[in-house]
Chains A and B, each alone.
Chain A
Amino acid sequence: MATLLVVTVLLPLLGGLALLLAPKLDHKAARWVALATTLATLAFSLVLVGAFQVGDASAQFAFEGADGHAGLPWVAVGSGPGIRFALGLDGVALSLFALTSLLLVTSVFCSWSSITERAPTYYALLLFLETGLLGLFASLDVVLFYIFFEFTLIPLFFLVGLYGGPERRRASITFFLYTLAGSLLTLLGVIALIVVHYRFSTPQVLTFSIPELTEGLSRITSADWAFTRPLADSFSLSQFLLQPQVFIFLLLFAGFAIKVPLFPFHTWLPLAHVEAPTAGSVLLAGVLLKVGGYGFLRFNLAMTPMGTAVLAPMLVAISVIGIIYGALTALAQTDVKRLVAYSSVSHMGFIALGLFSMTLVSVDGAVLQMINHGLTTGALFACVGVLYERYHTREMDRMGGIWKRLPLFAFFLILASMGSAAVPGLNGFVGEFPILAGSFSRFPRATVVAAIGIILGAYYLFLMLQKVIFGPLREPGGEGHGHGHDDSAGVPPVQWYEIAGLAPLLALIVIIGLYPKPFYDRITPSVESIVARFPAEGAGMSTEPNQTVSAPGEDSPRALLARSAQVTAP
C-alpha cells in the first residue's frame, strides 16, 4: 500500500511529462491522455480509501524506514533522521486526497471542449498541479510538505496566466506574489518549529517529520514554550506577540490565511477566480483553498495549540467578519463567477470558525465542511463554466429562464446551490451544523452572527437561481448577435462529458447529506488526536496531554457532540 501511495502521487507527474514530451498531440488526444491519467489516479486513491484502517488516528500507508522513522532518507541534516521522502495519510489527509483526485477528473471534463489551443501543455499543467496537491496532503515531512505547497503555485500561475480571461496576466501575477509572500513567512514559522523542537526536546533530535514534531512539541514542558499568556494578562501587546507560540502561530498563519483566504487577506481571490479557466477555478476553490485549512489544522492547531488558544477570540472574530463580508459582497455581484468566488470567502470563514473554536465537534465539522465546500463550489464553478461556454457571458442580468433551455443543467445548478446553502439533507448542512454547534459552546455571540451568514448564503444563492434559472427565457446570445431567429441552434444541450464531470460531485453532495457517518468515521480519530492536545479552556499552562483513543463505530455527529464536553470542557 505504501508503494501504491507513492505511485498515486507520482502518476499524474508522469502523465504530465508524457504529455509535454510526446510529439505534437492535438487537443483530442491530449484530453484522453489526461482523462486516463486522472481516472487511474482516482482509481488508485479509491483503493487507498478502501484499504484505510477506520479508527486509526495515525498516518497510514507510510514506508517504515530501516532506522525506525517513516519514509526514505533524502537529505541528511546533522545526526538526526534528516529530511525524508515520507508519505502517509491519516483520516483528514485521506479525505482531501480523495477529493483532489475526484475534482481533477471533473476539471479535465470541464476543459473537454473549451481548451483547444496548446492543449497538451494545459493538461500537463493540470496533472502537475494534481501531483502537487496529492503530495501536499500525503506529506509526512515538513520540508516535503512545503515543497509540494510551493510547487502548486507554478502550474496554477501558468494555468491562470496562459489560459485565463482578459485580465489573466494581472490575476496570475497577483495570485503568485500574494501567495508566495505569505508562504515564505510560513516557511520561517516551520523552520522555527523545527528549531524549537530541537532546542527543547530531550534528547535533542533534529526532526522534520510532521507526526514526530507534533508529538514532540506537545511533550515539551519548558515554560518558555508551553506557557502562553493571553492578551488580557499581558503587560503589553509586544510582550503578548513575542511569546514563542503566538509568534510562530502568526508566522504560520500568514501563508495559510492567504490561501484560505481569511477576511483581510482575500483580495487576490476574486481576481484569480474570475480570470482562471473553469478547471482552474474548480481546483482553486475545490482544493487550493483547502490547503489553507489543512495547514491550519496540521500546523497551527496541532503544533502551536497554546498560541491558537490565546489568539482564538481574534481569529474567530476575523472568521465571522469574513463570513458576513463574503456573503454581503456576494449579494452585490452580477457576475455569477464572482458571486461564487465571494461565496467561497464566506464559506471558508465557516471552516476557519470551526477550526479556531477548538472543540472536537466544530473541528470535525470544519474538516467535513472542507470536503463539502470542495464538492459544492467545484460543482458550482463547473456549472458556471457550462453556462459560459454557451453564452460567453456570466452576467446574471442578461440571462433568465435557462430551465427551459437546459433542464438538466438547471437541475445540477439547483442541487449544487442547495448543497452550498446548507439545506438539510444535503452535505452543507451536516458540515455547517456541527461547526455552529461546536462553536456555540465557546463563542456563543460570534456563532449567532455567523448563523446570519447562513441565511445570507441562502439569500444570494437563491437570488442567483431566481435570476438565472427561473423566470421568462432570456438568452444573451439572442440580443442582437444575428442568430435571434433560431435560438436553440446556438445552444447545444448538456453534453455527456459535462454530465460525467458533475454527476459524481452531485451524487456525493446527496450521499454526504444523507449518510455522513462513513466520512466522520475516517476523519474523527485523526481530529481527535489533535484536539486532545488542546489546552483546557481558560488554563494558562498546558497540562499533560491525555490521549483519548476513540472507539470506532460510535462517531456519529450526535455522539461526538455529547462527548466533546469530556475533551474540551474544563
Chain B
Amino acid sequence: MPPSSPPPIDFSQLWALSPEILLTLWGLVLLLVDVGPLRGRPGSSRRKTVGSLALIGPIGVFALLLAPLVAGPGAGGGDPDPTLVYGTIAGDPLATSFNGVIALLLAMVIGMSMAWDFTEHWGAYFALLLWAAVGMMVLVAAEELLILFLALELMTICLYLAAAFEKDKRRSAEAGMKYFVYGSVASALFLFGLSLLYGLTGTTFLDGIRRVLVESAAATGEAGGLSGDLVGATAVLLILVGFGFKLAAVPFHQWAPDTYEGAPAPVSAWIASGSKLASLVALMKVLLHALAPWAGAVGGEAGGGWVLIVAAIAAATMTYGNLAALAQRNLKRMLAYSSIAHAGYMLVGVLAAMVTVRSGSSAAEAAGAVLFYLVIYSLTTVGAFAAAAWLARGLGRDDIDDLDGLGVRSPGLAVCLAILMLSLIGLPPTAGFVSKLAMFLEVLNADASARSTLLLLVALALVNSVISAFYYARVLRALFLRRSDRSPGPAPRGVSWPIVLAALAAVGFGLEPAPLVDSMRSAASAMLTITLPPSPPDLPAPAPVAAIPVSGGMAMQK
C-alpha cells in the first residue's frame, strides 16, 4: 500500500452513475420476472408484459436525468472535477446528454421489439438490450482504457447474443456468429493496441496518456506525428482496427451487412445506432484527446500520423458503403451499407475536429458538429429500421419491394419514412441536411494547411451523397410510386411511434437545430477539455492503478 492512502470512496458519486445502475438492476428484474411470475404464459403475452416493463428502464433514466433539473440548479453544477471513481469515468455534460440519447434510442428499440414474436426468451432478450445500453453509457463516459475496453465488451457481448436471438432463422444464427467471430478478433487486436499504448506511456488514463505524449514530444522537440515510432504506429493501427470494427468502417466492415440483414430488426437498429454512437464517441475521446499529439499533419510538413490513416479510411468507407448499397434489394442490408457510408462521413468530421483541436480554435464547434451528426443519424436510422420491423411482422421478410404501396395504405407513416430517407440523404429542411452542413462547414473552415485534403474529402462526401440519393430514392419509389396487393397490415404501436418520433426529430431539429447543436457543443467542449486533477493517483507511476481492486481487468497487468 502506498504511504499516502488514497481518499476513501465517495459513495455519493454513485448518484452520477445511477442511470447505469438502474438499467443493470432492471435487467436482472426483467430476467427474473420472465421466468418467475410470468412462467408458463404464452410467448406473445410475455412479450407485451416484459416489453412494457422494460420501457420503465429508459423512462427511469429520463427521470434520473431530469431530477437534478427539478431539484434546482445547485444540485449538480459547479463541480470543478467532473470525473468519478478516481478519474476513470466522466460525469460531464457529454455523459449526461448521451445517457439521454441512449435511453431514447433504447426506448425506440424496445418499442420495435414488441412488434412481433421472434423469440420465446423475452426476459433474457430485453435484459440484454438494457445491459448493452449500460455498456454504451459507460463507454461514452469512460476516461480510462480498461473501463473503455470493459464497456466495449459489455456492449458487444450483449449484442452478439441478441443478434442470434431469432432462433428459427438460420440467417439470425449466421448474423450472431459472424458478428462474434469478427468482433472477438477485433477486440483482441484492440486490447493488444491498448496494452502497447500502456507500455509506451505508463498510464491507462486518457488524459495521462495525453500528458505523457505531449511531454515526450516537447522533450524530443518534434512537432508530433508518428514518423519513426514503430511501436506507437502499431498501437494506433491496432486501436483503429478495434474502433473500425465497431463503426463498420472499411476494411473492417464485412460483418455488418450479414449481421444487419440476419439479426432481428430491433437488434440491427440497436447495433446501427447505439453501438455506433457510443463507439464513435469513444473513438473521438481516444483520438482527439489522448492521442492528439500523435495526430500528425494533414498538410504533410511534419511526417505522418493517424490523421492520414483516418482520412484514407473515411474516403474508402463512404465510397464503398454507398456503391455497395446501390446493389441491395433488402431493406436492412441497404441500411447496413448506408450505416457504413455514414461512418465515413463522420470520420471526415472527426478529422476536421482534430485539425481544429491542433490549431486551437473552435475545437468544440467542430467536434460538436460531429456529435450532432451522430445523434441525428442514430435517431433517423432507428426509425428506418422500425420500418423493417413492421415488414418482418406483417410479411415475414423485409425487402425494399415489400414497402410497395404503403404510401396509399398508411399515408401518415409513409410520409414519416420519406422524411427519414430525405434526412439520410441530407436534403433540407430535415436535420440530416443541417447536420451535414454544419459538419462540412466545420471541415472547410478547419485549417489552411489541411484545406486541400479536407476539401477533397468533403467533395467526395457530397458526391457520395448524390450516389446515396439513388438507393434511398428506391425506398421512396416503393412507398409512393408502386402498387402491391401484399400488405404488411396496419403498423403496431411499437413500430409507429419510433417512426413518428424519428421523423419529428428529423423535421424539428432541421427547422430549429439550435438547442441540440448547443448542447452537443457543450458536450464536445467537456469531452475535449477534461483534465485530471494533478494529485490523484494516475501519474507517473502505474502502481496506484493496481491499488484499486475495482476492475476485474487487472489481471492483464500482473
Q: Which residues of A contact B530 (CB under 8 A)?
A: none
Q: Is the CB of B470 within 8 A of A177?
A: yes
Asked whether A147 and B429 contact (CB < 8 A) given A78-B365, A173-B473, the answer is: yes
Q: Which residues of A contact B425 (CB under 8 A)?
A: 180
Give chain A interface residues in 182-216, CB to chain B under 8 Å.
Answer: 184-185, 187-188, 191-192, 194-195, 198-199, 206
Asked whether A181 and B469 contact (CB < 8 A) given A74-B514, A75-B513, A75-B517, the answer is: yes
How far does the Cβ of B308 sit from chain A's closest Cβ, in whole Å? 22
Please report the C-alpha to C-alpha distance between residue A158 and residue B428 in the assembled complex, in whole angstroms. 16
Number of interface residues of A (CB under 8 A): 37
Q: Which residues of B contact A150 (CB under 8 A)?
A: 427-428, 433
B434 contacts partner chain A, Cβ-Cβ < 8 Å = yes
Asked whether A199 and B429 contact (CB < 8 A) given A177-B473, A191-B441, the answer is: no
Q: Is the CB of A151 within 8 A of B513?
A: no
Q: Is the CB of A76 within 8 A of B469?
A: no
Q: Which residues of A contact B482 (CB under 8 A)?
A: 169
B415-457: CB near A (< 8 Å → 1, else 0) gives 0000000100101110001100110110011001000000100
Of all chain B residues, the one with the shortest Cβ separation from A206 is B445
Q: Is the CB of B466 within 8 A of A184?
A: yes
A145-162: CB near B (< 8 Å → 1, else 0) gives 011111101100110011
A143 contacts partner chain B, Cβ-Cβ < 8 Å = yes
Of all chain B residues, the one with the shortest Cβ separation from A147 is B428
B409 contacts partner chain A, Cβ-Cβ < 8 Å = no
Q: Which residues of B contact A162 (CB under 8 A)?
A: 480-481
B477 contacts partner chain A, Cβ-Cβ < 8 Å = yes
Q: Is the CB of B444 within 8 A of A191?
A: yes
A377 contacts partner chain B, Cβ-Cβ < 8 Å = no
B188 contacts partner chain A, Cβ-Cβ < 8 Å = no
Q: Is the CB of B480 within 8 A of A158?
A: yes
Give chain A interface residues in 114-159, CB to chain B under 8 Å.
Answer: 143, 146-151, 153-154, 157-158
A256 contacts partner chain B, Cβ-Cβ < 8 Å = no
Counting chain B CB atoms within 10 Å of each CB, the highest count among A149, A176, A191, A192 belongs to A191
Please report the C-alpha to C-alpha distance between residue A38 and residue B465 in the assembled complex, in whole angstroms. 35
A417 contacts partner chain B, Cβ-Cβ < 8 Å = no
Of the candidates A75, A154, A168, A191, which one forms a contact with B427 in the assembled complex, judged by CB atoms under 8 Å apart? A154
Q: Is the CB of B427 within 8 A of A153?
A: yes
Q: Which residues of A contact B504 (CB under 8 A)?
A: none
How far does the Cβ of B495 sit from chain A's closest Cβ, in whole Å? 22
Of the candidates A78, A146, A206, which one forms a contact with B428 in the assembled complex, judged by CB atoms under 8 Å apart? A146
Q: Is the CB of B462 within 8 A of A185?
A: yes
A22-49: CB near B (< 8 Å → 1, else 0) gives 0000000000000000000000000000
Give chain B interface residues in 453-500, CB to chain A under 8 Å.
Answer: 455, 458-459, 462-463, 465-466, 469-470, 473, 476-477, 480-482
A77 contacts partner chain B, Cβ-Cβ < 8 Å = yes
Q: Which residues of B contact A180 (CB under 8 A)?
A: 425, 427, 466, 469
Q: Is the CB of B441 within 8 A of A194?
A: yes
Q: Is the CB of A143 within 8 A of B437?
A: yes
Please report the C-alpha to C-alpha distance between residue A485 and residue B438 in the assembled complex, in whole angstroms. 68
Q: Is the CB of B445 within 8 A of A195?
A: yes
A172 contacts partner chain B, Cβ-Cβ < 8 Å = yes
Q: Is the CB of A184 within 8 A of B465?
A: yes
Number of interface residues of B (CB under 8 A): 36
Counting chain B CB atoms within 10 Å of each CB, the highest count among A158, A195, A198 belongs to A195
Please report the C-alpha to C-alpha distance between residue A169 and residue B473 in the assembled complex, in whole angstroms. 11
Please report the C-alpha to C-alpha distance between residue A148 and residue B437 in the assembled complex, in whole angstroms. 15
Q: Which residues of B contact A157 (CB under 8 A)?
A: 476
B362 contacts partner chain A, Cβ-Cβ < 8 Å = yes
Of the candidates B433, B481, B513, which one forms a contact with A168 in the assembled complex, judged by CB atoms under 8 Å apart? B481
Q: Which residues of A contact B433 (CB under 8 A)?
A: 147, 150
Please report the C-alpha to C-alpha distance between residue A161 and residue B279 in the assembled complex, in whole angstroms. 40
Please report the C-alpha to C-alpha distance between residue A124 and residue B377 in the assembled complex, in whole angstroms. 29
Q: Is the CB of A184 within 8 A of B362?
A: no
Of all chain A residues, the one with the shortest Cβ separation from B415 is A20
Q: Is the CB of B427 within 8 A of A76?
A: no
Q: Is the CB of A195 within 8 A of B444?
A: yes
Q: Is the CB of A188 within 8 A of B459?
A: yes
Please report the C-alpha to C-alpha distance between residue A151 and residue B433 in the assembled complex, in whole angstroms. 11
Q: Is the CB of B428 within 8 A of A151?
A: yes
Please report the C-alpha to C-alpha distance between residue A76 and residue B516 in the assembled complex, in whole angstroms. 12
B509-552: CB near A (< 8 Å → 1, else 0) gives 00011100110000000000000000000000000000000000
Of the candidates A151, A161, A184, A195, which one forms a contact with B429 in the assembled complex, judged by CB atoms under 8 Å apart? A151
How far does the Cβ of A253 sit from chain B's closest Cβ, in whole Å? 15
Please report the C-alpha to C-alpha distance between residue A180 and residue B448 in the assembled complex, in whole angstroms. 29
Of the candidates B440, B512, B514, which one forms a contact with A191 in the assembled complex, judged by CB atoms under 8 Å apart? B440
Please report the C-alpha to C-alpha distance between residue A161 and residue B480 in the assembled complex, in whole angstroms. 8
Q: Is the CB of A169 within 8 A of B477?
A: yes
Please report the C-alpha to C-alpha distance between residue A76 and residue B463 in the assembled complex, in whole angstroms. 27
Q: Which residues of B contact A181 (CB under 8 A)?
A: 466, 469
A380-412: CB near B (< 8 Å → 1, else 0) gives 000000000000000000000000000000000
Q: Which residues of A contact B440 (CB under 8 A)?
A: 188, 191
Q: Which residues of B contact A154 (CB under 8 A)?
A: 422, 427
How far does the Cβ of B343 sit from chain A's closest Cβ, in whole Å? 20
Please report the C-alpha to C-alpha distance between residue A148 and residue B433 in the assembled complex, in whole angstroms. 12
Please report the C-alpha to C-alpha distance between residue A148 and residue B511 in the assembled complex, in whole angstroms. 12
Please report the C-alpha to C-alpha distance between residue A150 and residue B470 in the assembled complex, in whole angstroms. 16
How far does the Cβ of A116 sit from chain B's closest Cβ, in whole Å? 16
Q: Is the CB of A161 within 8 A of B427?
A: no
Please report the C-alpha to C-alpha distance between residue A542 and residue B437 in the assembled complex, in whole angstroms. 31
A509-547: CB near B (< 8 Å → 1, else 0) gives 000000000000000000000000000000000000000
Please report the C-alpha to C-alpha distance between residue A565 and residue B470 in the assembled complex, in whole angstroms. 49
Q: Which residues of B contact A177 (CB under 8 A)?
A: 466, 469-470, 473
Please report the C-alpha to C-alpha distance between residue A162 and residue B414 in the assembled complex, in whole angstroms. 14
Asked whether A199 and B448 contact (CB < 8 A) given A75-B517, A151-B429, A181-B466, the answer is: yes
Of the candidates B445, B458, B476, B514, which one forms a contact with A75 in the assembled complex, judged by CB atoms under 8 Å apart? B514
Of all chain B residues, the one with the shortest Cβ separation from A185 is B462
Q: Which residues of A contact B476 (CB under 8 A)?
A: 157
Q: Which residues of B contact A158 (CB under 8 A)?
A: 480
Q: Which residues of A contact B428 (CB under 8 A)?
A: 146-151
Q: Is the CB of B477 within 8 A of A173?
A: yes
Give chain B interface residues in 5-28, CB to chain A under 8 Å.
Answer: none
Please report the C-alpha to C-alpha distance between residue A348 and residue B7 in the assembled complex, in whole angstroms. 78
Of all chain B residues, the one with the shortest Cβ separation from A176 is B473
Of the candidates A75, A168, A173, which one forms a contact with B434 in the assembled complex, judged by CB atoms under 8 Å apart? A75
Of the candidates A78, A169, A184, A206, which one forms a contact with B481 in the assembled complex, judged by CB atoms under 8 Å apart? A169
How far does the Cβ of A135 sit from chain B's closest Cβ, in whole Å? 10
Q: Which residues of A contact B518 (CB under 8 A)?
A: 76
Please report the C-alpha to C-alpha distance between residue A184 and residue B434 in the assembled complex, in whole angstroms. 13
Q: Which residues of A contact B514 (CB under 8 A)?
A: 74-76
How far does the Cβ of B368 sit from chain A's closest Cβ, in whole Å? 11
Of all chain A residues, the one with the shortest Cβ separation from B451 is A195
How far does the Cβ of B275 sit from chain A's closest Cβ, in whole Å? 29
Q: Is the CB of A198 within 8 A of B427?
A: no
Please report the C-alpha to C-alpha distance between residue A169 and residue B440 in the assembled complex, in whole angstroms. 33
Please report the C-alpha to C-alpha distance between residue A149 and residue B433 in the assembled complex, in whole angstroms. 13
Q: Is the CB of A188 within 8 A of B462?
A: yes
Q: Which residues of A contact B463 (CB under 8 A)?
A: 184
Q: Is the CB of B444 within 8 A of A187?
A: no
Q: Which residues of A contact B (CB under 8 A)?
A: 74-78, 143, 146-151, 153-154, 157-158, 161-162, 168-169, 172-173, 176-177, 180-181, 184-185, 187-188, 191-192, 194-195, 198-199, 206
A-B pairs with beta carbons under 8 Å apart, 18 shown:
A74-B512, A74-B514, A75-B513, A75-B514, A76-B514, A147-B429, A151-B429, A157-B476, A168-B481, A169-B481, A172-B481, A176-B473, A180-B469, A184-B465, A185-B462, A188-B440, A194-B441, A195-B445
7 closest A-B pairs by CB: A147-B428, A181-B466, A195-B444, A150-B428, A184-B462, A169-B481, A161-B481
**Other A-B pairs, 14, CB within 8 Å; known A173-B473, A180-B427, A184-B463:** A74-B514, A147-B433, A153-B427, A154-B427, A157-B476, A158-B480, A161-B480, A162-B480, A162-B481, A169-B477, A173-B477, A177-B473, A181-B466, A195-B445
